[in-house]
Structure 1
C-alpha cells in the first residue's frame, strides 16, 4: 500500500531529500523511518503534454509504484518526467524507475544473495 504526499510537511521533507535523474524521469527521495508506508507524489508539467497524456503517464507511474510497494523503504517520493511524457512507455518507465529506486537505496527490504 502506498500513500500520497499531500501536506506541507511532506513537500518540505522532499525539498531536503536527494534528487536522482535518468533520461526520462527524475525523482526526489526523502527517507523517513517514522512513516508506516511510502508516500508518493507526481510532478508533470504542461510541457509534458496534454492533460490526457499527463494523466496516462501518472497512472503508469502509480501502477509501477504499486508493483514495488512491498519492497520500498518508508519515505517520501516525488517523481516527474523529462521532456515529452508521451515518450514514456510502460516498459521504459518500469526500467527507468527501477534504476532510480535502486540508485536512491529505496529497496532495503529486498534480500540480496551474494554472487
Structure 2
C-alpha cells in the first residue's frame, strides 16, 4: 500500500506508532507524521484512515520517474497492465511534455530541499 504524508508533529508524550506490522513507541520529542493511503488505493479509505507514524517508519515521498506512465508514473519497463481509479485497467501511456517537465522540477526540488 502506498502512503501520503499529511502533517508532521512533535510528540509530547509516549505514543504508539501505528504503521502496520511495525508497532513501537514514539518517544517524547520525536517527530511523527500523520499518513493516509494514496487515493489510487481507495478514495474512501484515504479520506478517513489517518495513522500516526514515527519518522523511522515514514516512507520517503515518492516522485514518479519523469518518463513514467502518464496515468500512474510507473516506468514503461515492467509496467504491464495497472489499475488506477481514473483510467481503470491501462497499459503504459506516454506522459505529455508538461507532465514530464513538472516531474523533473518536483524531483529537483526534493533533491535541493525545496529550492528550484
Q: Give the alignment's TM-score, normalised by structure 2.
A: 0.24
More helix per residue: 1 or 2?
A: 1
Task: Kindly name which structure, 1 or 2, has the bigger radius of gyration based on alpha carbons.
Answer: 2
TM-score (norm 1): 0.24
Higher relative contact order (CA 8 A, sep 6+): 1
